[in-house]
Copies of this chain bind each other. A is one copy, B any other.
Amino acid sequence: VAERPAEFDLIERIRRRAGMRDDVVLGIGDDAALLQVPAGRQLVVAMDTLNSGVHFPVGTAAADIGWKALAVNLSDLAAMGAEPAWCALSLSLPDAGTGWVDGFLDGFSGLAGMHRVALVGGDTTRGPLSVCVTVHGFVEAGRALRRDGARVGDDVWVSGSLGDAAAALSIVTGGSAPRASGKAPVAPGDAASAVAQLRRRLDRPVPRIALGRALAGLANAAIDVSDGLLADLAHIARASGVAACIEVDALPASTALRALFDDGPRRRFQAAGGDDYELCFTAAPGRREAVEAAACATATPATRIGRITEGEGVVVLDRAGAVWRPPRSGWQHFD
């Protein structure tokens, strides 16, 4: 960790909220951290960066950025069935404002504390606002949830509900007017509350750590839904050498999303939206009760949305059994 005087103050603020664990031999303050991986466990490492205006809207609250930067990384551990342990944080800031950093740490350390994740290192640098996080966790050897384990005949499942974050982003960026057409009108207060619920899904995604742990050794394959269900399920299909067939009407939607959007845009957000951080996973049909028990035990809804088949790619069917395509596929991101 490179330190200069102004950085030193920031590092002190960060260190005070780093959290403690017995397996951290040496944390923030040396050239590197010293850590003890438990015997018999594999180390699981993920790294994701959030850039201003790309991964969160400009003007997002510092606490929300802090939460989300850790959440998207923990979501990767959840998708592996791993137990989180440590993280490192690299924070590029346009200036050394301590108020922003304290707000950031409210979100970051708040989520870290919920999962007993200790912050063990990293750096603070001058530059355009950017947050890079590396998370470390453990998994029992041979029990990790990989993308390449899906088998023909597996059920396809998804946790929670889909589309809220994409709908919120669409509202923020002006691309979608909720309730553009059709359906019964929503009372103004209800609409504002529903929009706030969507926005919270965008700003404060909940990593499905407990469900991922419960699925380790039970599911055959898993991924977290960050790019949109269709894109992420396609990763599982490609890695596993299989195809997936899902029913668009089976995709779970929140009450807020149903209240605010007609079926067409709603289905697009659910199928192709992204930023959901739900788990999409496959499991043998003989494990349905076990999956439902895991979902119940971790208080995480899980919905069967389709099947793994022979072939390649992902097919989406509507209620009538016809092939469904998103009415407008999102523009191709670089990020």
- Residue of B25, B90, B126 near A334 (CB, 8 A) is B126
Is A297 located at the chain interface by the 8 A CB criterion? no
- Bound-state CA distance A33–B89 (Å) is 18
CB neighbours (8 Å) of A88 from chain B are 45-47, 134
Residue of chain B at shortest CB distance from A46: B32
B92 touches A31 (CB 8 A): no
- Bound-state CA distance A44–B34 (Å) is 5
Q: What does the 1/0 interface line of A39-51 toward B look like (CB < 8 Å)? A: 1001111111101
Is A175 located at the chain interface by the 8 A CB criterion? no
A44 touches B33 (CB 8 A): yes
- Bound-state CA distance A120–B96 (Å) is 32
CB neighbours (8 Å) of A5 from chain B are 332
B30 touches A147 (CB 8 A): yes
B125 touches A54 (CB 8 A): yes
- Bound-state CA distance A144–B88 (Å) is 19
Is A187 located at the chain interface by the 8 A CB criterion? no
A334 touches B7 (CB 8 A): yes
Comparing A99-107, A223-231, A259-267, A298-306, the segment that makes contact with chain B is A223-231
Copies of this chain held together in the complex: 2
Do A144 and B4 form a contact, CB below 8 Å, given A54-B127, A127-B51? no
CB neighbours (8 Å) of A132 from chain B are 47, 49, 90, 132
B30 touches A37 (CB 8 A): no
B7 touches A48 (CB 8 A): no
CB distance from A293 to the nearest CB of B (A): 24
Is A235 located at the chain interface by the 8 A CB criterion? yes
A1 touches B46 (CB 8 A): yes
CB neighbours (8 Å) of A124 from chain B are 335
CB neighbours (8 Å) of A157 from chain B are none
Question: Which of chain A's residues 75-132 have a Cβ closer than 8 Å to chain B?
Answer: 75-77, 79-80, 82, 86, 88-90, 92-93, 95-96, 120-128, 130, 132
- Bound-state CA distance A95–B52 (Å) is 15
- Bound-state CA distance A39–B141 (Å) is 14
Do A29 and B227 form a contact, CB below 8 Å, given A6-B334, A55-B125, A126-B335? no
- Residue of B4, B25, B39, B235 near A333 (CB, 8 A) is B4
Do A335 and B7 form a contact, CB below 8 Å, given A48-B123, A123-B49? yes
Is A196 located at the chain interface by the 8 A CB criterion? no
- Bound-state CA distance A135–B120 (Å) is 13
- Bound-state CA distance A96–B332 (Å) is 12
- Bound-state CA distance A148–B27 (Å) is 13
Residue of chain B at shortest CB distance from A136: B45
- Residue of B31, B86, B89, B136 near A224 (CB, 8 A) is B31
Given contacts A31-B77, A33-B44, 11 further A-B contacts (CB under 8 A): A2-B227, A4-B332, A25-B42, A29-B239, A31-B147, A32-B44, A47-B121, A49-B127, A51-B127, A93-B334, A96-B334
